[in-house]
Amino acid sequence: MNDRLLLEVHDMEVPVLTGIYSEETHLPQPLRISLTVELACPDVFTPDTPLSASKNYMDLRRAATALPSGLHFTLIEGLADHICDTLFLQDERVLSVTVKIVKLAIAEAGEAIGITLTRHRR
């Protein structure tokens, strides 16, 4: 059995230009984004293991929130792929990324409507 290290940042609310309908394309929509990143795992973490043995959670957060200004994603799937690509480029130890995106503006009764995309390093 292989050891796995999963880093998680969940429930970030991010305004993103996305959508295909005219009422969606002019203003950012609120999205709830959650990330789970599988990182190559060292054999052991000791009390004095440095941060360099893992990954700073803020890198994950920035990948989902620091999007290029004015960039419009027709589909939220494209946004999920953008976040995955960003994390793969940042760190060769990233083995897989799971991005869950919920479109907050279209919920009528508190339901979570969205996607979950998992990509593996190729």
User: Residue 98: which CATH number?
Assistant: 3.30.1130.10
In a domain, 47, yes or no: no
Q: Please tell me the total count of domains within the chain.
A: 1
Range of the domain at 109: 5-42+53-120
pLDDT of residue 69: 85
pLDDT in tens, 62-89: 999 999 888 899 999 999 999 999 999 9
- Per-residue confidence (pLDDT) for residue 2, from 0 to 100: 80
Inside any domain, residue 109? yes
71: in domain:
yes
Residue showing tokens 């959650």: 34
Which residues, at least 6 apart from 93, have a Cβ–Cβ distance to it below 8 Å? 39, 40, 55
Q: Is 90 inside a domain boundary?
A: yes
Cα pseudo-dihedral 44, 47, 51, 57, rounded to 10: 90
Give residue 22's pLDDT: 64
- The average confidence (pLDDT) of the chain is 92
Return the residue matching tokens 């004095």.
48
- Whether the pLDDT of residue 61 is over 90: the answer is yes
Write the pLDDT tens digit of every residue in 8-39.
Answer: 999 999 999 998 876 666 789 999 999 999 99
